[in-house]
A and B are shown apart, each in its own frame.
Chain A
Amino acid sequence: MIVEPAPRGFTDGSHITRVARAWARAIAGASYVPMAHVDIELRLAGFTTRLLRVLTGQPFDPSPATQIGVELVEAHFASPETLGHTISVLADRLPPLAGTSLDSSGRRVMRLLSALSVGYTRGLRERTLDEQESIRQATVLAQLQTEHALRESQEAFRHAAVHDQLTGLPNRIFFEKQLADLIENGGAHHVAICFIGITSLQAITDRFGHVLGDKALTVTADRLRTLARSLGHPLARFAGDQFVMLIEDPAGTPHLAGVADQIIATLSTPVHTDRHLLPMSASIGLVDRPIAGMDANDVMRAAGMTLQWAKAEGTNRWQLFDQARSDREIAKHALTADLAGGIDRDEFFLEYQPLVRLEDRAVIGVEALVRWHHPRLGRLNPGRFIDLAEESGQIVRLGGRLLDKACRQAREWAKLTDSPPYVSVNVAVPQLRDGAGLLRTVDNLLQEVGLAPELLQLEITESASIPDDPQLRRTLDDIAGLGVRLALDDFGSGYSNLGYLQNLPVNQLKIDMQFVRDWKPSSTKSLLPSLVKLAHDLRLSALAEGVETLQQAEYLESIGCDHVQGYYFGKPQAASSITSLLLEWSAEEL
């Protein structure tokens, strides 16, 4: 800060300083001045000196005081209070400094201070206007910036909402919108959906973690993007490892097949990373439909289903949508959905097919066969629903119900005759897996119904899993331990490790009907004798299924087969028919 020299001859610096200090004290707090206190005093001392010069000037001209007023404001001594305090301090202090009294120099001081006030007020007004203007401009600017930022973030948000972060491809929402637009606006006649599943991805993620999984995915996405661009078809990442390509008006199935082959070729190239060579594979489901009347949801569902078919075929395959197959699967699906309710509503019932002893044609047992009285589809045979029940896990509950019915029926027959038939009930592998549950059910039932255990037989299908599964073996042993009979169903139809038969606690081999059906009186090659012998060697009884003619029966008798089952001896029938049959027999015996 420069202190202007005091006008010579009037006063010395210390007087000036004292006035400046008093002035500073008077205006302290009236406004904020961004200066250290000493600097404020220096600055005020400068003003004081100048004012003194104006006051004592010859001739007297107060106008420079106006400028000092402006400068005061410029130095940020800027508030109404500052002016007020300034005037009172200066009115008091300037005249003594000038060596005169206020009275003698009154007019001059007054004119000086009024000039200062004019300058000060003008400065303050200018400053206020400037500041108002600058904040207004800042507001306008900020408004523009905010709107811009808002627009950008909305843009970004909109982009993010319809694009996949990892691959940058349009996402499912975007794709669905695109498809909906296409359906709505027409333009194309046909559209094909190429639904791509990267089948290798799960294994990569499982083995190498998400980072490499994502890496493989982005590389795949890039490859697909390049291909899609060159083909001119829009592409989206549908979900996880699924991509979808939209083909407008494809030039027939061969064209689609060509695209699918190209995609698979592109995607099945391994992905290189720093340390790994990741084998890649893909499957594709193709759906080609006319746009007219298209339902986007339905097309995508069809595409998803077709992709599943392709996956089931093996790796790097594609499949074309097949309406008949789809209908079947949908029907199957519906049926599965009906199962649980059907069990609740007791829509399942049993029919019984005689198991006959060849020796005397006596009915020594019956096989209980399940039927479903479906409210819409009518009577259904087990072939239609047993697999579904197994897949959906309903088989355990259903099996339990059927066992109950069968045991109660067996008990009825036991009351009726002295040599009642045993009832043979099929049990499925899931029921066996529920070993303890099955054992408990059977045990409780026998007790509750009061049925002799040997009047119940459980049929298990010859299955590859039984011999290797100690748990299942134990269950069979336990059930046999109750005294319940066990039969091995469909014997010879599947994989058999003959070795395990030795130790299996079964009583009967039920020889699969295919052997009987294939047998001709002229046949020289038949496995039937060997199968019967095998049963006997294992000390099991042999029962031949599917016997439909007298000739077959006689042949079986000739090779020593013990029991038979088949239309020739009786179809599956209502319990009441079996009852009549039994009554006839016992009457004959009497």
Chain B
Amino acid sequence: MDRPEWAPPGIDVERPSAARLYDYFLGGSHNFAADRAMAQQLLATAPDIPLIAQANRAFLRRAVHMLAESGIRQFLDIGSGIPTLGNVHEVAREVAPDARVVYVDLDPVAVAHSSVLIRGQEGIAAIQGDVRKPGDILHHETVRELIDFTEPVALLVIALLQFVRDEDDPAGIMAQLRGALPSGSYLAISHGVVDGWRHDKEMVKSLYSRTTTPAASRTRAEVVPFFGDFELVDPGLVWVTQWRPDQPSNIDGIKAAKSAVVAGVGRKP
């Protein structure tokens, strides 16, 4: 059947989804047979993926913690995924109980899951949205309700942009998102890159092309411009484990080089 263009994406549990794969790599069971089968294939090519996912998730936690400590009270988390552990609102509210969070994801199951999880909690919402239509997100009723765009906002774009291909104009998308934020806002990005990738890139890419969100391959240098004129806070755009690690360098530190994800936080001047 032809799906009209304006219809929300359908739910096809037979088709692996990036959100559920990611959950699987983090050790979660919020996934289906199709996801696990695909995960096994990915692991066969790149056995480090679970470590990479963990490192990425840990960065998210550290970044949100730091942002809350810097006084940020509103978070827009795009590509938030299936809430597994250490969700943005949990981390932020440890520091600031009044923090407000809007989760946005393309995957309807991820959104449904999030909304169940946050049900009844004020100041937190989950909406379905596509980062490739930033205007729709920025003007979404719920976003407008919870986020005051005259006050600093933390925009979280964590492990998302590798699912936005160049033809979808990620630079333009990011420019529009940055443009909507007032001065003093922050942008946290982590991005899977191919620079340090020791596994079969093409294989991974082709596996992801079978998901609902095919992957793009970029280098660290190609990630830098996504920050625009935002000033990167220390230590800049680095391997995800090197971003303000909360432990003396150990196993994770050693894994840094092969983590294949760069991360950084920028502040709007």
Interface residues of A (CB under 8 A from B): 25, 28-29, 31-38, 76, 78-79, 127-128, 131-132, 134-135, 137-139, 141-143, 145-146, 149-150, 153-154, 156-157
Contacts and interface: CB of A to CB of B under 8 A. Distances in A.
Interface stretch (B27-35, B144-152, B199-207, B216-224): B27-35
B90 to A, nearest CB: 8
A37 B65 CA distance: 14
A140 to B, nearest CB: 8
B195 interface: no
Contact of A29 (B31, B32, B252): B252
Contact of B112 (A36, A139, A150): A139
B251 interface: yes
A201 to B, nearest CB: 31
A29 to B, nearest CB: 5
A170 to B, nearest CB: 21
Given A32-B54, A76-B85, A154-B4, A142 B11 contact: yes
A146 B10 contact: yes
Contacts of A143: 11, 108
Nearest to A141: B112
A143 B7 CA distance: 13
B116 A153 contact: no
B165 interface: no
A34 B61 contact: yes
A161 B57 CA distance: 45
B30 A131 contact: yes
A446 to B, nearest CB: 67
Nearest to B114: A138
A28 B252 contact: yes
Interface in B247-262: 247, 250-252, 255
Contacts of A31: 26-27, 54
A33 B32 CA distance: 22
Nearest to A156: B6
B132 interface: no
Nearest to A82: B27
B53 A146 contact: no
A32 to B, nearest CB: 4
Contacts of B13: 139
A37 B61 CA distance: 12
16 contacts: A28-B252, A29-B51, A29-B54, A32-B53, A32-B57, A32-B85, A132-B29, A135-B113, A138-B109, A138-B112, A138-B113, A138-B116, A145-B112, A146-B9, A154-B7, A156-B6
A138 B53 CA distance: 22
B82 interface: yes
A139 B31 contact: no
Interface in B50-99: 50-51, 53-54, 57-58, 61-62, 82, 84-86, 90-91
Contacts of B252: 28-29
Interface string B155-166: 000000000000
A153 B62 CA distance: 40
A150 B10 CA distance: 9
Given A32-B54, A37-B246, A135-B29, A146 B113 contact: no
Given A29-B54, A32-B27, 12 more contacts: A29-B255, A32-B26, A32-B57, A36-B247, A37-B247, A38-B247, A79-B27, A134-B30, A134-B113, A135-B82, A153-B6, A154-B7
Scoring B27, B91, B252 by chain A CB atoms within 10 A of each residue's CB, the highest score goes to: B27
A135 B7 contact: no
A145 B108 CA distance: 8
Contacts of B178: none
B4 A28 contact: no
B107 to A, nearest CB: 8
Interface string B1-38: 00010111111010000001000001111111000000
Contacts of A28: 250-252
Nearest to A160: B6
Contacts of A76: 85
Q: Helix, strand, loop or mixed for chain A's interface?
A: helix
B174 interface: no
Interface of B: 4, 6-11, 13, 20, 26-32, 50-51, 53-54, 57-58, 61-62, 82, 84-86, 90-91, 108-113, 115-116, 246-247, 250-252, 255
Nearest to B82: A135
Contacts of B50: 29
A63 to B, nearest CB: 27
A144 to B, nearest CB: 9
A32 B84 contact: yes
Nearest to B31: A135
A136 to B, nearest CB: 9
Nearest to B28: A131
B196 to A, nearest CB: 17
A562 B53 CA distance: 111
Contact of B116 (A35, A78, A134): A134
Nearest to B13: A139
A143 B109 CA distance: 8
A540 to B, nearest CB: 75
Contacts of B251: 25, 28-29
B175 to A, nearest CB: 29
Contacts of A156: 6
Contacts of B61: 34, 36
Contacts of B110: 138
A478 to B, nearest CB: 62
A76 B27 CA distance: 9
A141 B61 CA distance: 28
Contacts of A38: 246-247
A154 B3 CA distance: 10
Contacts of A146: 8-11, 108
Contacts of B9: 146
A35 to B, nearest CB: 8
Nearest to B111: A142
Contacts of A35: 86
A496 to B, nearest CB: 67
A395 B252 CA distance: 90
A137 B82 CA distance: 13
B48 to A, nearest CB: 10
B86 A135 contact: no
Nearest to B60: A34
A146 B112 CA distance: 10
Scoring B7, B112, B113, B255 by chain A CB atoms within 10 A of each residue's CB, the highest score goes to: B112
B57 A34 contact: yes
A128 B29 contact: yes
A142 B27 contact: no
Contacts of A153: 4, 6-8
Contacts of B246: 36-38
A150 B8 CA distance: 6
